[in-house]
Structure 1
Amino acid sequence: MDQRFPREEKLKSNLLIEQLFSEGSSVSKYPLKLIYVKTEPEDDVKVKAGFSVPKRKFKKAVQRNQIKRLIREAYRLNKSNLFNNLSTSYAFMFLYLGKEEPDFSELNTTMERLLTRFLKQTQTDENI
């Protein structure tokens, strides 16, 4: 499985981001929250992902960018499990909810648990 995070997989569409926050479902595992919505498949991309850290909690852009880099790296390392188990396309937005700057190992294990929780929730939604 390719572990890159290419440009095609990045969430950039304002319309899709608005749709995420208005119609999306969510799963959370502190300090991360995942908001997702099903999308039409395009460019053979299963998931488009975006990352956000609140300016209210982290005033300096350097801190926000560092946390986003850590979250992106944790996602990149764990996305192979996600891609192997998905059949439809999704748009993701990862939100950081914590108050302190995270440690990468903690963030990586949280990302693993969050993605497995997402897979379980989508499987139960499909079965209903």
Structure 2
Amino acid sequence: MKRSADPELACPVAPVVDIVFSRWTTPILWLLHERGRQRFVELQRQLTSITPKVLTQRLRRLERDGLVARTYHAEVPPRVEYEITELGASLGPLFAHLATWADDRLPDVDRARRAYDAGLR
């Protein structure tokens, strides 16, 4: 694979990291993958520190990227549901691998941080 002179394009996973690992994107995808279709308020209840504005922005971006589908039900009152798409669900193995890495390696990261911080004193 030919590498680009542009540092942002030199890493082939940079676009994926930008799409999937921006703040709140991973927790939203994780919830939709694990718990299935959710209404906006259900997502907001589970992600307690996200603002409605940011949740709306993230859901729109995920919908635009094809990772989440939005379904509007013309009822009284109107109902909107979000669910992970096949494309979004295809990230499941990546998330599973990262969860395993976190279980195995975060204690190492914590030790490294403590050692680094102790050396700064």
TM-score, length of structure 1 as denominator length: 0.23
Higher relative contact order at CA 8 Å, sep ≥6: structure 1 or structure 2? 1
As a proportion of its length, which structure holds more helix?
A: 2
TM-score, length of structure 2 as denominator length: 0.24
Structure number with larger C-alpha Rg: 2
As a proportion of its length, which structure holds more strand?
A: 1
